[in-house]
A and B are shown apart, each in its own frame.
Chain A
């Protein structure tokens, strides 16, 4: 995915909207989902954050492209709080910003955020992996087994587990590249824009 994404970076349009969305869209959606818990709202937060980021770049308020990540992060936090306040969850919003870590990113909500089509593609890629690779990724990223516990259960060191995980992820990326329907849409980018027009 990184290759695909970096290949799509436009050389002549440094602040292109598409480049911004490709680079930051998915992380922003995940961060937002973590906070607002609703995939639809998370999508709105990500879109609004990207829009503000683009405006800031074009207006020269963020003149260093390297600083755009920090700008987007703070903007996303702010937009999340705004949404939560709007939904009457001010107390929870402040608790989350000021309090302890949040809960898990719920897989079902994440699936709705990514969209059925992309989940299907990823499932196809996962099915191409060996059962060992698949089970490892499942335990780590779906069953939420702590890596140290997974290593102990498998009778391997933490370092070996890291290597196996790294290789499994690499093979998954290769499989995803093969499953890519065309060369313009990254498989794991967020769901297609279905948000309501405001």
Chain B
């Protein structure tokens, strides 16, 4: 049996620092050796890594999303691979840049980010008079909203859209009475840091 000695170390804070890259080399190596030798702290790493990985694949259905968002987010989750085409690499120093694509519903929403601005485009709906564009944080918090009469629209990226934050973009087509005609599938964005160097 592979056993490890009893451990009373609270490694969870160090693990958070480790995953975030906040430790110096010597501390990192000491922690890595401990995590490998200590089953209990190794478990802490497993759990923390699992949280980090799981949240990278999108936000959680029903966390703080409003009720009306739940089926939409669920639909997005069911698509499964939706996130694959939607990763957005953000330049580390040059601000946000890049483009994304994804299959949408009849509005076929797409978005591109450049220079700290988010440009959202979509197919016009035949009877739509106006369009509302919502940008939400991964936890459902509304970050930005605007209303226009035709696509595209460019929004200033809110400060909350920091690297690795998950965002949703949704477009709602309104009829002349401002009743919703159709609503796009939430477009899931994960703003990521670019790789630090050439491979």
**Chain A interface residues (CB < 8 Å from chain B):** 1-2, 5-6, 9-11, 14, 19-20, 23-24, 26-28, 30-31, 37-38, 65-66, 68-70, 72-73, 87, 89, 92, 99-108, 110-111, 113-114, 116, 118-120, 122-123, 126-127, 131, 134-135, 137-138, 140-144, 146-147, 162, 165-166, 169, 172-173, 176, 186-189
Give the B interface residue count (CB, 8 A): 62
A2's nearest neighbour on chain B, judged by CB, is B43
Interface string of B140-172 (1 = CB under 8 A from A): 000000000000000000000010110000000
Say yes or no for B102: interface residue by CB 8 A criterion: no
Given A1-B43, A2-B39, residue A111 in contact with residue B54 (CB < 8 A): yes
B 41-64 to A, binary, CB cutoff 8 A, 1 in contact else 0: 011111111111111111011111
Can you list 10 contacts pairing A with B, beta carbon distance less than 8 Å? A101-B24, A105-B19, A108-B56, A110-B52, A111-B56, A119-B57, A122-B54, A141-B19, A165-B13, A176-B47
Between B2, B25, B162, the greatest number of chain A beta carbons within 10 A of the residue's beta carbon is seen for: B2
User: Would B57 and A116 count as touching, CB distance under 8 A?
Assistant: yes
* Secondary structure call for the A interface: helix
Q: Which residues of B contact A (CB under 8 A)?
A: 1-5, 10, 12-13, 16-25, 27-28, 32-33, 35-37, 39-40, 42-58, 60-64, 80, 87, 139, 162, 164-165, 190, 192-193, 195-197, 199
**Cα(A143)–Cα(B51), bound, Å:** 11
Q: Which of B20, B58, B61 contacts A144 (CB 8 A)?
A: B20
Q: Contact check, B193 vs A106: say whether CB atoms are below 8 A apart.
A: yes
- Given A27-B42, A37-B195, are A122 and B51 also a contact pair (CB < 8 Å)? yes
Contacts of A5 in B (CB 8 A): 39, 43
A110 & B36 in contact (Cβ 8 Å cutoff): no
